[in-house]
């Protein structure tokens, strides 16, 4: 369940006669049917650092992957994050946020119903039958108690749950209703009462803002996701409405609520869906997709998250981090409000010949076998492959990407060395920070989030 890009690039006739399809964010979950990926005013977690370190926690990660909120604490991750984005909340056909237990549409059980035992709990105490808030939400509350500087945002949408965004953002009345419903449930904490859990104010004070994860305004996303040309101006109006209602509520709680958005890497998607110079008046920051540039939905192996496009790439106008960030900057986005997304997973192909390039830019027979979803593997599993002796690790240090190759399987991913190059780029370009999709892909000791933290804040090394 990752986010996917969905952009199309016609390759030059001299190299490839195919159209490279950059698909849509999907990742792997055996627990859910839906796919999702996936601030000028914000107070950073490190008092002496202005960089944001944002991590997505996936609602479904608690099942097969057994990645619990407690793991965010025990891995040392929580102390290094400024923002944790909870993925995802859904919008119903009525254009409003909702909580329910409907397969593929809502998982209130994960969010706030399931009882957490003492061993799995952040604070070491088991949930009781009487408490109104249980599940991930109560664990996030406990996580914040241990990490008072950490902000938790509710991320709305994602790849599979952006279906109704366009309709909900269509008119002033529908935008007002959507924002009011999302704030009522999540920011004000009035969760619907389900089997004795939830109720008025049950999650009050938990969420510190909203992350708009509309994939994608003005251009195609998941198969059933509606999009229309008016989305471009309506996204701006929706961001303005969120900002207005968050500020109005914030005056009653004496608090600033953050507003962020997930932003595409493809120039065509930027131009179809975003009034770049306007939206950052309302957003605290935007996270730019820095992954899924290529994957096994294409026949040819390639980088999925390179800092720079390789000189010998067979794809014309290829995607990269510097391209994506540069396209936002050229359109007027403020550098300090752009947060670069990095993947905590890799993309893989099988049936790949060496080709004199250790499998890079070669043909394949399909996605590589993997734990949860063919062609998609968590970083900690790829690290184990790299250490297994059956794979060779290769790097393009000039362009900032790495890959594994065993003679037939090819995996491209980010490791601490790649992340060091990306955080150096973030600092050099005076960007806002880094974002990770998603925390459950990291090692049990938070190797990748530590690399982000030490890369953005070199003076903090050894202090955690």
- For residue 149, the tally of other CB atoms under 10 A from its CB is 14
Which of 73, 99, 142, 215 is labelled catalytic? 215
Distance CA 303, CA 257 (A): 36
Q: What are phi and psi of 172, to 5 degrees?
A: -55, -40
Residue (of 197, 164, 196, 195) closest to 182 by Cα position: 164
Alpha helices in 62-194 (DSSP H): 69-74, 108, 135-146, 165-168, 172-182
- Determine how many CB atoms are found less than 10 A away from the CB of residue 429: 16
Contact, 156 vs 219, CB < 8 A?
Answer: no
Distance separating alpha carbons of residues 107 and 86, to the nearest angstrom:
13
CA pair distance 398, 384, nearest whole angstrom = 25
Outline where 354-446 has alpha helix (H). Answer: 379-386, 416-428
Known active-site residue 215: yes
Residue 325: closest CA among 339, 311, 310: 339
| Residues annotated as catalytic (active site), given as ranges | 215
């Amino acid at each position: 369940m990752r986010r996917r890009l969905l952009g199309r690039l016609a390759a030059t006739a001299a190299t490839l006669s195919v159209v490279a399809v950059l698909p849509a964010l999907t990742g792997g979950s055996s627990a859910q049917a839906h796919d999702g990926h996936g601030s000028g005013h914000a107070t950073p977690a490190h008092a002496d650092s202005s960089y944001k370190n944002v991590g997505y926690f996936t609602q479904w990660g608690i099942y097969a992957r057994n990645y619990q909120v407690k793991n965010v604490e025990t891995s040392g991750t929580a102390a290094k994050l400024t923002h944790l984005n909870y993925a995802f909340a859904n919008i119903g056909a009525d254009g409003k946020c909702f909580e329910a237990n409907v397969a593929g549409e809502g998982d209130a059980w994960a969010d706030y119903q399931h009882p957490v035992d003492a061993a799995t709990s952040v604070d070491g105490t088991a949930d009781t039958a009487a408490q109104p808030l249980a599940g991930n939400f109560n664990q996030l509350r406990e996580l914040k108690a241990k990490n008072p500087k950490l902000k938790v945002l509710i991320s709305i949408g994602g790849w599979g749950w952006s279906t109704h965004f366009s309709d909900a953002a269509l008119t002033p009345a529908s935008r007002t209703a959507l924002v009011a419903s999302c704030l009522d449930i999540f920011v004000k904490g009035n969760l619907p009462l389900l089997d004795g859990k939830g109720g008025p104010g049950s999650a009050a004070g938990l969420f510190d803002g909203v992350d708009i994860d509309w994939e994608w305004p003005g251009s195609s996303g998941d198969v059933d996701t509606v999009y229309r040309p008016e989305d471009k101006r309506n996204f701006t109006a929706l961001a303005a409405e969120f900002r207005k209602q968050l500020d109005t509520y914030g005056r009653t709680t004496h608090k600033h609520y953050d507003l962020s958005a997930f932003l595409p890497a493809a120039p065509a998607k930027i131009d179809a869906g975003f009034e770049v110079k306007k939206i950052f008046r309302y957003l605290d920051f935007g996270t730019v997709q820095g992954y899924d540039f290529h994957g096994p939905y294409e026949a040819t192996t390639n980088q999925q998250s390179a800092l720079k496009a390789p000189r010998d790439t067979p794809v014309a106008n290829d995607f990269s981090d510097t391209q994506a960030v540069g396209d936002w900057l050229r359109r007027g986005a403020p550098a300090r409000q752009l947060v670069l997304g990095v993947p905590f997973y890799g993309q893989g192909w099988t049936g790949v010949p060496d080709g004199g390039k250790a499998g890079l830019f070669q043909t394949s027979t399909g996605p590589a076998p993997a734990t949860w979803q063919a062609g998609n593997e968590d970083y900690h599993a790829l690290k184990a492959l790299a250490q297994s002796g059956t794979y060779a690790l290769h790097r393009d240090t000039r362009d900032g990407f790495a890959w594994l190759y065993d003679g037939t399987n090819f995996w491209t991913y980010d490791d601490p060395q790649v992340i060091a190059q990306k955080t150096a780029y973030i600092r050099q370009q005076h960007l806002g920070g880094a974002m990770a999709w998603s925390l459950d892909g990291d090692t049990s000791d938070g190797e990748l989030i530590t690399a982000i933290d030490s890369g953005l804040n070199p003076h903090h090394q050894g202090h955690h």
